[in-house]
Amino acid sequence: MFRLTAMDHIVLNVRDMGGVLDFYQNVLGLPAERLAEFRRGEVPFPSVRVNEDTVIDLFPVAETDHEMPERSDLNHFCLVLSADDMAPMMAHLGAHGVKIEEGPVTRWGAHGNGTSIYFRDPESRFIEVRCYEHRTEPQRP
């Protein structure tokens, strides 16, 4: 038997790379990786780093790309921050004109109940940001 232990990356299809990069770098504070290489045409997409183990790949698609799947299979994804950072995050989103569509609300997640807010990126993907009052690491076998 095996056990999956972490999320390595997710891939988002992106129509407006500049707007999406600006949002993930400057609003969410995620550093870009391979951006210079992408701009030089050396790699097919850039990424933004969530932590040492996880990246979000930003895959460019043309407006006329008929192979781009519908987003009906992605409800949202969730990023975690410390409880002390929730209020500053909410203020930061507001300062960037990002509307919090839901929250703060209590929701269950990987570490039990936490406090979550929900908002959208420039291409209308629903994003949850959550904090845990007392975060515990999942048990490893």
pLDDT in tens, the chain (141 residues): 767 677 889 999 999 999 999 999 999 999 999 999 999 999 999 999 999 989 999 999 876 555 555 555 677 999 999 999 999 999 999 999 999 999 999 998 888 899 999 999 999 999 999 999 865 444 444
DSSP state of 112: E
Query: If you count DSSP H runs as helices and E runs as strands, how many of each does the chain have, helices first?
Result: 3, 8
Rounded to two decimals, what is the model's pTM? 0.79
Paired sense of beta strands 112-120 and 32-33, if any:
unpaired
What does the block give as tokens for 69? 């799947």
